[in-house]
A and B are shown apart, each in its own frame.
Chain A
Amino acid sequence: MDSTLSLKPRGKGKGSKGASSSNDKSKYQLLKEWSNWSLKKAKVATHYGFIPLIIIVGMNTDPKPHLFQLLSPV
């Protein structure tokens, strides 16, 4: 009796643990993959967009410089 009683919860525990562990595993994997994907996209966005961002921010400050001043070498 005791053995069956003790087995049942263990079995249930194992079953539920098994299910939750696979769920947890996939959640963790999902989180890792999502964060990797977003970091890769952020890196590409920064690589191409940082200098244009500085130029846009700078061209909108007072006194506003002209586009000609940006492009001319003098």
Chain B
Amino acid sequence: MADLFPPLATAQVDAKTKVDEKVDYSNLPCPVPYDEVHREAYMSLKAENFEGFRFDFSKGLNQKFSLSHSVMMGPTEVPSQSPDTTIKIPVAHYEFGANYFDPKLMLVGRVMTDGRLNARLKADLSDKLILKANAQLTGEPHMSHSVFNFDYMGKDYRAQLQLGNNALVGATYIQSVTPRLSLGGEVFWAGVPRKSGLGYAARYETDQMVASAQVASTGNVVMNYVQKISEKVSLATDFVYNYFSRDVVASVGYDYILRQSRIRGKVDSNGVTSALLEERLSMGLNFLLSAEIDHKKKDYKFGFGLTVG
């Protein structure tokens, strides 16, 4: 009996070192969805900066069902003829929302005072197939968009089929090649501007960093790198290049997650500096401060808001 124990212990130690050294290619982890290849970078670099005043009130009636009321007052940009001047029109609206969260079904709907509906649906059709739908419906004809996604999650790959209105069809596929590297591709065809496109993406991640790159036939090349300095701090940098229009943008951003607050900011090569602070004043009460300064266009946006619930 005593003879059994020493061999077991050595077998465990051997297995552990073997896993560190040798990769089991039949047992790779499932990769992130193709849309979220740049997820960590966009958490710091594409923070939701806003202008004006914002108030969000969220009331839960149930564990699964909640209502939300939000008020937004501030200037919104209107596209102008010349790229130098920005035209802003002050606007105020109220938005009512209802959310239903279930492990198998998620329904989110938001309706504004001007009649615009923003609807999202996520249903688990089986344990590997997920249906996601997203729609923006307006009263005006030909201004509504809707997209349906069918996601299939395989053992170490994900495939997605996308159908949208105005004859939009797209498909993406992403596969784990090693435990840290995943490669993917996408193809789409849009009916209304008769365009088709192709794209490739690669993502390499470890515990401390994530590097990802994406190339598309529309001419966009995106590369970004995120380094997690500690549990509270992560830094990100991004490089976007369009080889048809020769536009280049590089940005550096940070994300500090502290106990009572979260502050994210970035600096751009277009001369844009922005920051977003979310401070937890007490349980369920969050204070938001947003600032975006565009030195080149001389456009200064400041916003503050409160989120309850």
B109 proximity list for chain A (CB < 8 A): 50-51, 54
Interface of A is mostly: helix
Is A63 a contact partner of B144 (Cβ separation < 8 A)?
Answer: no
For the complex, what is the distance from the CA of A58 to the CA of B62, rounded to whole Å? Answer: 8
Does B88 belong to the interface (CB within 8 Å)?
A: no
Is B98 a contact partner of A58 (Cβ separation < 8 A)?
Answer: yes
CB 8 Å contact bits of B69-110 with A (1 = contact, 0 = none): 100000000000000000000000000101110000001110
For the complex, what is the distance from the CA of A53 to the CA of B65, rounded to whole Å? Answer: 12
Most buried by A among B59, B65, B69, B96: B65
B137 proximity list for chain A (CB < 8 A): 43, 46-47
Does B229 belong to the interface (CB within 8 Å)?
A: no
Residue of B nearest to A42 (CB): B146
Question: Shortest CB–CB separation between residue A47 and chain B, in angstroms?
Answer: 5
Q: How many residues of B contact A (CB 8 A)?
A: 21
CB 8 Å contact bits of A49-65 with B (1 = contact, 0 = none): 01101110111010101
For the complex, what is the distance from the CA of A8 to the CA of B64, rounded to whole Å? Answer: 73
Does B135 belong to the interface (CB within 8 Å)?
A: yes
B61 proximity list for chain A (CB < 8 A): 58-59, 65, 69-70
Q: Name B's A-contacting residues (CB within 8 A).
A: 59, 61-62, 64-65, 67, 69, 96, 98-100, 107-109, 111, 117, 119, 135, 137, 139, 144
Identify the 5 closest CB pairs spanning chains A and B, nearest first: A58-B65, A65-B61, A54-B98, A47-B137, A51-B109
Q: Name A's B-contacting residues (CB within 8 A).
A: 43, 46-47, 50-51, 53-55, 57-59, 61, 63, 65, 69-70, 73-74
